[in-house]
Structure 1
């Protein structure tokens, strides 16, 4: 029997399991690409308009970190400047979640052991997962190419853009294949994969932010750091500019090397175990573990600590450049208009206030991501059978789920407080007003809490209603809200569409005045989602 025996049947099984999730990911990403090109044509109808905006962009490192280094002023190049990096991120998450779902998650639920009792080779499961993911990225690349070319963009550039998105997804699929061998749980593998995607986006952003402005004043050459990132490779292809087809050799090389490593690791571990062995606990458990709240804290504390470090470091970095934004770019009307746009309509105030409002919106999205990850631990505990063992005791379902909810919400409060305090202290020290800036930016951070809690409530609701699809739907909802809230204005989407995202309703403090009505409504919606999830979970059977 070959190590790949049974791959074809497992591939068909994986395709059947993903017949809903993968099409949603693919179509959502394709629609985002199409909308971006249409919005570019609508917002910047002439080359002069686009050049004016790009002159502003190359002088604003914060915008370059969020977007990319511009390569030209055509509609295609402008659209890629705004959205290509984010498309690559979406392809990365689609790919990593799919690979982990069909490898490590199957081992957690016992499917791999059951299937392995039949005539199935050692590498069949991983190979099937990779085949499905590569096919999904190929379909995504083809659809992105079609919508760009069908929208009137040059065919070579459209092909390059589509392949760049698909190649990024395939590269991250290989990363997830290795993570699935290293981590001992699907949650750990997804966490490693997400951390790699986030690091790749950050490294790409640093490369673009510190790139070299070309003599024309509106295009750039990215810094060397972008060569270290699969997302940076997508940008280095330069769709609609001077396409560099040879760059596709980099994600292919990463895929081949990482997949080879993953296959080598599969034969060095037992089924159900990761290479990173779980540390043995103490002989006697702490008294706090006897209750659901203490148990939830023990399970969640590592996630919270990791997010806290990331938020604190980012807050210090953003606070340190607040003075530079105010002093160096305050007279540039283009910068002011663009940052006010990012702030969600908080124009009319000082530029630095609009800048911090835009950054706080990003922190709100980050904290929502933490909440989704923390609450999906519920699904991991259920699918692994540990929830059943806990619920077999005197602990009720609502107490068990409520413990995780409390820990997650307290974590969100801590993270938003860290964001406000680190930014306020750093910026306050630079301008000599620590007390005032600390209070103002901390308040600006906490107004993001209700919108983040809506994503938490949604995660609980889908966990209670469709547990097997909870992970995919919760992350899809988060990404949809992030796109509509953070990119809706830049994509020129109708207000009715942008209003679907809770992030679109948050007062843009400190640039705008606070209003209580949207915060109350957002809190009520979050409460309704959470209550629905509690009721649904209480009435359904546990699902492996």
Structure 2
């Protein structure tokens, strides 16, 4: 075990910037959400009226937490806890895969295993690294909430609950890395497990039983099948139940033990889920770089497209509900109008949901361009470029497919929106508003294609962390900036904050021409610089 400190230190140094973004970003989100809630829902009456409407429309609980009362702290955690836990889960699962299956793919694990460290010590170092990361996330989140003046015990339970969910998905990531043959496959399995767990908890809450005063929801048994549900059962600032925290942490450790057992019985580089066998003859599309990129990124694009369809469905399904809530609650109406720019309430709801859609489309774009970096580090890009394919054409293929991915996400959202309108016999004029707003989000999301491509060319090692960090910052500024009272010029730094929208007076193009210019300049810069760039495999 003398090599354990060195391996742990290497992981901490390697992930220093990424973990700083994850942990501080999560804590900052908790702090700013409290500030927003205190401003918008400053009275018990305002918070109680929102909870009463939630009980009457439980579909809202699909993307919120478990209502535990109208107290300031309890209400804030009802709004934000699932997202704190989601960030912790994503951080942990990515960390687990990066230092296990990812290291095996690039050959680093084989070199380490040939030393005194063997095969198990690196896995134990990764487990310790993940535990420390979640402890830091929990501590910073608790400190952020305590700094607002909320009770210390409730703040500690809130932070520990999010960190404990992170520990569960640390175990999920470790097991996924043992099961799947590639890091992309392991990440996909972990993320799909995370999202299904998130949705299961939301459905379990929506199927629950409200209290007589409509201030508290007792979730159904389905919630107890999800680690997110366990985290929500802590009910910070209401019950402060620590039992579910122990349950989450225990499951994470059990899964980590399973990962250790699986690794001890498999060959280095092997997996328990075999790679899918290819056809005897490749289709003609694989003879072109865009066709190959489309094949490599197809599963992720389909996944983001499904998320877009759900977002579009919720936009039209909840538009009328939120309009009615806003009529009875001026605070909520101010929030929606602040994000959407002061339009009609139904139009404003569409803008809010399609701002979220723009973030999903940007995630699809960034993941697609980041695949170029993965191909480079895995050595497969070198094989492609050894043929009659130049560097510019190769990178352009990822840019084109990323743009197609954005179109798929937006088109799926419009299909979901149409289904929602048909189900409730809604106003079909909203679909035209959504098409215009969606077109604006295409321009906004395309900015991330250009910026990530430039990062890939100029600083390839930063492609993945910096590409995703820009999406996270843009989400905070564009979606939450108006709620947190950021100045207009700060909100406009986010492409989503300057995308065209539909107002009661027509179409406000806002910063459309700046977005198009940024895409054109960024794309041309990335492709131009790619001509002289050498492959950066390490």
Q: Same fold (TM over 0.5)?
A: yes
Deviations 1:303-333 (A, max 9, x none): 223333443355446545556666x758534
Q: Is the 8 A contact 2:174 2:259 kept in 1?
A: yes
CA contact (8 A) 1:56 1:334 kept: no
1:149-160 matches, within 5 Å, as 149-160=146-157
Which residue does 1:522 correspond to in 2? 515
Quote the Cα distance in structure 1 between the aligned partners of 2:307 and 2:171: 25
Following superposition, the deviation at residue 63 of structure 1 comes to 4.2
Q: Equivalent residue for 2:283? A: 286
Once residues 335 and 224 of structure 1 are traced to their aligned partners in structure 2, the CA distance between those partners, rounded to angstroms, is 33
> What is the deviation of 1:132?
0.8
8 A contact 1:69–1:209 mirrored in 2? no
Which secondary structure does the structure 2 equivalent of 1:514 belong to?
strand
Residues 489 and 65 of structure 1, relative CA distance in 2, 3 Å threshold:
farther
| Mapped contact 2:499–2:509 kept (Cα < 8 A) | no
Distance of 2:529 and 2:95 partners within structure 1: 26
2:228 corresponds to 1:235: no
Shift of 1:352: 3.4
Match for residue 352 of structure 1? 346
> Is the contact between residue 419 and residue 442 of structure 1 (CA under 8 Å) also seen in structure 2?
no
CA distance in 2: counterparts of 1:536 and 1:260, whole angstroms: 47
Contact 2:306 2:412 in 1 (8 A): no
CA deviation map 1:349-371 (0-9, x unaligned): 2x433333322222222222211
Q: Which residue of 2 aligns with 1:394?
A: 388
Shift of 1:173: 0.9
- 2:443 aligned residue: 450
Task: Determine the C-alpha separation between the residues in 1 that align with 2:31 and 2:320.
Answer: 37
**2:167 aligned with 1:170:** yes
RMSD: 2.7
Q: 1:318 to 1:33 in 2, by over 3 A?
A: closer
Tell whether 2:191 aligns with 1:217. no
* Aligned residue pair count: 537
Compare 191-200 and 13-22 and name the one that shifted more. 191-200
Specify the alignment match of 1:459 in structure 2. 452
**Residue 65 (structure 2) aligns with:** 68
Question: What is the CA–CA distance in structure 2 between the aligned matches of 1:422 and 1:30, rounded to whole Å?
Answer: 33
Aligned-pair CA distance for 1:238? 1.0
Pick which of 31-40 and 14-23 moved more: 31-40
The question of 1:250 aligning with 2:247 is answered yes
Task: Write out aligned runs for 1:249-398 (5 A).
Answer: 249-312=246-309, 315-316=312-313, 319-320=316-317, 332-334=328-330, 337=333, 340-341=336-337, 344-349=339-344, 351-398=345-392
Once the 2 structures are TM-superposed, how far is the Cα of residue 177 of structure 1 from its aligned partner? 0.5
SS at match of 2:340: coil
1:416 is the counterpart of 2:416? no
Contact 2:444 2:495 in 1 (8 A): yes
Which whole-Å deviations, capped at 9, do the CAs of 1:32-54 have from their partners, x for residues lacking one?
22222233333334434433444
On the 8 A contact 2:309/2:416 being kept in 1, the answer is yes
Give the Cα–Cα distance (whole angstroms) in 2 for the partners of residues 250 and 511 of structure 1: 50
1:194 corresponds to 2:191: yes
Greater shift in the superposed pair: 448-457 or 49-58 = 49-58
Map Cα deviations across residues 65-124 of structure 1 (whole Å, 9 max, x no partner). 333233223332232123222111111122122111111111111111111221222222
CA distance in structure 1 between the aligned counterparts of 2:183 and 2:45, rounded to whole angstroms: 50
